[in-house]
A and B are shown apart, each in its own frame.
Chain A
Amino acid sequence: MSGEKIRLNTEWLCDCGGCHVALVDLHEKILNVLESVVIQKCPVLTDIKDYPEAEIGILTGSIRTEHDRHAAIEMRKKCKTIIAFGTCAVYGGLHGAGLAHSREEIMDHVFRKNPTTRTDFIPDSGITGLEKIVTPIDEVIDVDLYLPGCPPHPHFIFESLKTLIEHHQPRVDKSTVCAACRRTMTKTDVTEIKQSHEGIPDDDICFLSQGYICLGSATLDRCLAPCPNHGIMCAGCAGPTMQILTEPNRDIRTEVADRMSRLTRIEKETIRAHIERSAKTHYAYAMATKMIGNKPTFLIRKWIADVEAV
């Protein structure tokens, strides 16, 4: 790259910080990036408190507190292109599961009636106010590009930054986690759903074929499938596939149930009901986005109440 360097701001809203670590995970490739980019504001690298003008702004995390909202708006004012980076920014992320409870319930459980501490009051100074719900950033500011993933694999980060720096049209990859998984999908005679702690799954055969719930087929691949390739079922951390996001009649539980029922002898309805019973886990990463949360068939509070009633 020649000419002036592209200015980059990053800001850290409500998230674990893993997305910023993922940037460093570019390893030697970060040197290639730094040839064309100058990092200005970056909470883990530079001590800049305000928001300088920049070409690219990377926002990680979702909006959970009043500070998050302010930071997102300031970034939008100063950056030409805003990238919603990571699952929290795109869909609300893991803490989006807070949507299943009211703010009061959360405050009660964390502060007033926390089972593991003696505190019984809510702190009222030194921290910014908790918003009523978790909000993905595109509901507060305009977002130019989205890069989901928890965190996005450096392969996708590098490719994305490259397209931006070289002014290419981004190429959307629609493949799912299954596409990068090495397990073979075979049809089996399995008749029961297994919990992840039950039995020892075969290393070469698809989890669905073995009766374990794996969200790989309903999850966008922004990770290159490290979990299923190392014996852990996909938890859907990069968020649902395009067809689930855009079409109201498709959902995580129905898509997984459809495929799993064709691979095993377990009824589709049984699988669907099983996923609904543990929906707070299976929908955790994406339920805060309206693309999932507003589906008329997404009845998370009813499902939780049903489980608690038993």
Chain B
Amino acid sequence: MFAMFIDEKACRGCQLCLDVCPTKCFVFNEETKKSVVARLGNCIACMSCDYLCPSGAISHQDHHVVKNFYRNIHFSQRMEKFL
């Protein structure tokens, strides 16, 4: 099932995901100073938040993966060997 997670410990509270999300999926919890996924149904899996998040704290599960044509396949394969 499609899901989106924010690693709370990693979230620095910058709200950049709120700024960049074209479909307003996130809200900011003023008490904890962390972002929260509020409207998952809105998500179009554009991955803008994933790319912009300074901590790499946002992850998606079971989304439709679009292969970027410009991605360097050789380097990408190398990434799978990272510890």
Contacts and interface: CB of A to CB of B under 8 A. Distances in A.
Interface size bracket, A side: 35 or more
Given A175-B7, A179-B7, A246-B72, A206 B12 contact: yes
B33 A243 contact: no
Contacts of A163: 83
Contact of B55 (A176, A245, A263): A176
A283 B67 CA distance: 28
A249 B70 CA distance: 8
A138 B78 contact: yes
Interface in B1-40: 7, 9-10, 12-16, 19, 33
Contacts of B79: 172, 242, 245-246
B58 to A, nearest CB: 10
Interface in A208-255: 208, 216-217, 241-243, 245-250
Contacts of B54: 176, 178, 185, 208, 216-217, 259
Contacts of B56: 174-176, 178-179, 241
Interface string B26-66: 00000001000000000000000001101111000000000
Contacts, number: 99
Given A179-B7, A246-B71, A184 B12 contact: yes
Contacts of B72: 246-248, 291
Interface in A164-183: 170, 172, 174-176, 178-181, 183
B70 A248 contact: yes
Nearest to B68: A247
A130 B68 CA distance: 40
Contacts of A183: 12
Interface stretch (A145-153, A190-198, A271-279): A145-153
Contact of A148 (B55, B68, B82): B82
A-B interface, 9 closest residue pairs, ranked by CB to CB distance from nearest: A185-B14, A217-B54, A179-B10, A179-B55, A160-B83, A178-B55, A185-B12, A147-B83, A178-B54
Interface of A: 83, 138, 143-148, 156, 159-160, 163, 170, 172, 174-176, 178-181, 183-187, 206, 208, 216-217, 241-243, 245-250, 258-259, 262-263, 291
Interface of B: 7, 9-10, 12-16, 19, 33, 51-52, 54-57, 68, 70-72, 75-76, 78-83
14 contacts: A159-B83, A163-B83, A172-B79, A175-B7, A178-B10, A179-B7, A179-B10, A184-B12, A206-B12, A242-B82, A243-B51, A249-B70, A250-B51, A291-B78
